[in-house]
Structure 1
Amino acid sequence: MTSSIIEDPRGQMMTDAHYFYQQGWMVGTAGNLSARLADGSFWITASGKSKGKLSLDDFVCIASDGKVKTSAANLQPSAETAIHQLIYRLFPASQTCYHVHSIENNLVSRFVEGDALTLPPLEMLKGLGVCQEHPNCTIEIFANHLQVSRITADIEKRFSITSPQIPALLIRDHGVTVWAASPKTARNYVELIEYIFRYMVAAVRLGMGR
C-alpha cells in the first residue's frame, strides 16, 4: 500500500460527507464514501445514515474478501459496497472511493444515449489528470439497475477491456463515482467533476450546446 493511507480515515470522510450534504449532493441518506486501510480492508458508510451528521459509529469495516469485519450495532454497509470493492481491485493505487448524487450529474447522464459522455475542454480537467492542449475526454456511463450486482458486472466487463480516461464514472439517473489515492484527492475530484457538470447544464440552458 502507499504512504497515502491514513490510520483512520473516518474523521475526514465525516467532514467530506457533511460538505457534500451541504452542497445538495448527498441529500437524505444518498451517496456513500469509503477509504482503505493498510491491511486491504476498507471503511464504508453504513446504509440508511444521513451524510449530514455522521459519527464514527456510522461506518462499517469491510475485509478484503468482502465480508463485514467491524460494525457498530449490527449496521449494514452501503448497498453499493460491491462497487467500491471492485474499484479497489481494478485500480490498486486507489485508496478512496466517493459516490454522490446531484441534480447536474443526473441531468448530464441523459445528454447522450450511448455509454460515454464527452466533457468540455475546460481547465478543470487538468485536476483530473487530463493535461492535453485540446483534450478530447469522455466519462463512461453505465445503466442503473435495482440489483447492484448488475451494475458491478457491467463496470468490470467494460473496464477490463478499456481503461477510463479519468478516475470517475457515471451511473445514469443515479450518480457519479470517483476514486483516488486519498480522501483529500477524492474530494477534489468530486468538486471538479461536479463543476464540469454544472457548466454543461448551464451551457445547454444558455443555448451553447453540449
Structure 2
Amino acid sequence: MSGDLRSELIVAAKHFYDRGWMAGTAGNLSARLPDGSFWITASGRQKGQLTPSDFIRMNLDGAIVEQPVPEARPSAETSIHLAVYNCFPEAKACYHVHSIEANLVSRLTAGDAVSLPAIEMLKGLGVWEENPQVSMPLFANYLEVPKIAKEISEFFAVSSPSVPALLIRDHGITVWGDSTAAAYNYVEIVEYIFRYTLAASQLNLDLKC
C-alpha cells in the first residue's frame, strides 16, 4: 500500500482514536487524489483498526467511484467533506473528529462563532498577527447531516475562513488542509486550543467568546 493515501488516513485515525477523539466508529477522514476524487472512511468502521478495505472512493458529485467492499456505505458525514472540497478546491484532505473538548467549547457561546484565544498556537493555523482577533464558525447540529453541509456551503460562499477549521455544536471539529500532514497538524492544534480555552474558562480568563 506504499504511496496509497489510505495508509496515511489509517495512521491518522489510529492516532486520533488513541487520543480519544475518534472513539468507537465516530469521526471520518478523507484525502483527495489527483483526479479530484477522494478516499473517505466507510460508515460504521472502528477508527483504531482501519484497513484499506474500510474506505470508499467518491467523486465531487457524491457518486461512488470505487468500493472495495460491496456492502460498505459512505460515511454519514460525506456531505460535509463534499462541502469542504467544493468550497476550497485547494483542500487535499478533510478530517472530522469528535472530542469532548470540542463539544464543551461549542457550549461556551450561544452565537454562531467561537472566539479563539490569542495564543502562540494560532500560528499553526496560519494566523501571524499581533494580538489577533480570530473566530471559528460554529454550525448547528442536525440529525440530517446534509442540512449541516448545506449551511456550511452557504456560509463559505460569502465568508472567507480565518482558520482552516469549523465547529459543529455538540458534534466536533472539521479541518482541511493542502495535504494530509497539514490536516493532521490542524486537528492537533485546534484540540490544543480548545483544551486551553476550557482551562482558561475555569480560571475566569477573558476569552471573549
Q: TM-score range by the shorter chain?
A: over 0.9
Runs of 5+ consecutive residues of structure 1 not aligned to the other structure: 1-5
Tell whether 2:20 aligns with 1:11: no
Equivalent position SS for 2:166: strand
Q: Is contact 1:33–1:97 with CA below 8 Å preserved after alignment?
A: yes
Residues 109-134 of structure 1 show CA distances to partners (whole Å, capped at 9, x for unaligned) of: 01110101100001000010100011
Choose the corresponding residue for 1:37, options 25, 33, 39.
33
Q: Is contact 1:62–1:70 with CA below 8 Å preserved after alignment?
A: yes
Deviation at 1:161, TM superposition (A): 1.2
Q: Is contact 1:8–1:37 with CA below 8 Å preserved after alignment?
A: no
Partner of 1:81: 78
Deviation at 1:209, TM superposition (A): 4.4
Tell whether 2:147 aligns with 1:147: no
Partner of 2:92: 95
Q: Distance in 2 between matches of 1:103 and 1:97?
A: 20
Partner of 1:23: 19
Q: Is contact 2:60–2:85 with CA below 8 Å preserved after alignment?
A: no
Alignment-mate amino acid for residue 5 of structure 2:
P
Q: Distance in 1 between matches of 2:181 and 2:159?
A: 27
Partner of 2:68: 72
Tell whether 2:48 aligns with 1:52: yes
Runs of 4+ more than 3 Å apart? none
Partner of 1:130: 127
Q: Is contact 1:14–1:55 with CA below 8 Å preserved after alignment?
A: yes
Runs of 5+ consecutive residues of structure 2 not aligned to the other structure: none
Deviation at 1:73, TM superposition (A): 2.1
Partner of 1:191: 188
Q: Distance in 1 between matches of 2:178 and 2:166?
A: 16
Partner of 1:168: 165
Q: Distance in 1 between matches of 2:157 and 2:60?
A: 20
Deviation at 1:157, TM superposition (A): 1.2
Equivalent position SS for 2:158: coil
Q: Distance in 2 between matches of 1:7 and 1:86?
A: 26
Number of residue equivalences: 205
Equivalent position SS for 2:69: helix
When normalised by structure 1's length, the TM-score is 0.95
